[in-house]
Homo-oligomer: A and B are copies of this chain.
Amino acid sequence: MSGSRPTIYDVAKKAGVSISTVSRVLNSPNKVNAETRVAVIDTISELGFIPKAEARARALKNLGRIGVITPFFTEPSFVQRLRGVASVLSSSQYELVVFSVDSITNLNSYLETIPLTRNLDGLILISLQLTAEQAERLSKHNIEVVLIEYPMYSLNCLEIDDQSGGRMAANYLLQKGYTNIAFIGTADTVEYGINPISSRLLGFMNRLSESGITLDAHSIHYASHDIEATRVLAKKVLMQPNPPAAIFAATDLQAIGVLRAAKELNLRVPQDLAVIGFDDLDLAEYFGLTTIHQPLDESGRIAAELLINRIQNPDRPAQHIRLPLTLIERETA
């Protein structure tokens, strides 16, 4: 009974269990019988046992840390994606470290230091772009990366087909018999992000023109990506002579701006004005918004699973996964 630090063996002996059980109590407590667990925990604190970090690191196959870089503050969609990531990590052996980014400088400094300190097993980037050099550095330092919503040949990517999403929206409106149609999108070019809006518009226009409808400049409008700005714009659009009977908003948030404008003008939705969005945020449901659903939570889940998979089987080639879009019919169109 000397003064040296107690080890897992001491705990095991005193608690009358094997070291495996003690280890399990520490690392996956729910795999241990509740009574046993309590007993072991008591012994642990009685002995003041603290696992030696170094030994632990040695035995661990990897660091057990996955980072997510996200522009957390801006859009609800990021949160939903993060939620998906969290849901798979919480039941895994990985710790979720969140880096929240609010400028390109900020992002770059993360991207520089992470490979150097190498204290992450993997990295998920949500709607953020990186340069070829940054990508190379990460892979050179054996840090697995999954990109959500930014395609890059050499890395694992999760994407959607924005263009075909646009087509779906057009198709739906055409089926409903609309011909007097407008588009409202985002003028923003977020410095660190990407802009799928033009793809959505392109698909939308293509499908319309297949039915002989041309979307000219008078039917394409841009506002910055918030509800208020879009509301103002939409109100203007709807007060023109011969206003559109249907509007495709490039995102749900903008669709909500349109909805608010319609309400102010006492337009009935969908009778006087049909509105269709894109994303299917949580709140789309709250508004009864008809929209193009893209898997947001799901994208986070898949990204995390893919990442863990790659960490454990590093030799597999990078995957590009295209997530399916579906049209959700609710009340606004």
Contact = CB atoms under 8 A, between A and B. Distances in A.
Contact of A260 (B30, B56, B288): B288
A240 interface: no
Interface string A232-263: 00000000000000000000000010001000
Interface in A107-156: 109, 112-113, 115-120, 137, 139-142
A4 B314 contact: yes
Nearest to A37: B112
A2 interface: yes
A234 to B, nearest CB: 14
A52 interface: yes
Contact of A97 (B2, B97, B119, B282): B97
Identical chains in the assembly: 2
A72 B76 contact: no
A50 B143 CA distance: 13
Given A106-B90, A109-B29, A142-B6, A53 B58 contact: yes
Contacts of A118: 5, 48, 50, 55, 95
A66 to B, nearest CB: 11
Interface of A: 1-6, 25-27, 29-30, 37, 41, 44-45, 48-60, 62-63, 65, 72-73, 76, 79, 83, 86-87, 89-90, 95-102, 105-106, 109, 112-113, 115-120, 137, 139-142, 227, 256, 260, 282-283, 285-288, 311, 313-315
Contacts of A57: 52-57
Given A83-B72, A90-B99, A260-B288, A315 B55 contact: no
A330 to B, nearest CB: 11
Contact of A53 (B54, B87, B100, B313): B54
Query: Considering residues A63, A89, A313, which has the most beta carbons from chain B within 10 angstroms of its beta carbon?
Result: A63
Query: Considering residues A60, A119, A141, A256, which has the most beta carbons from chain B within 10 angstroms of its beta carbon?
Result: A119
B27 A117 contact: yes
Contacts of A26: 113, 116-117
Given A30-B105, A283-B286, A286-B256, A142 B62 contact: no
A205 B36 CA distance: 48
A86 B109 contact: no
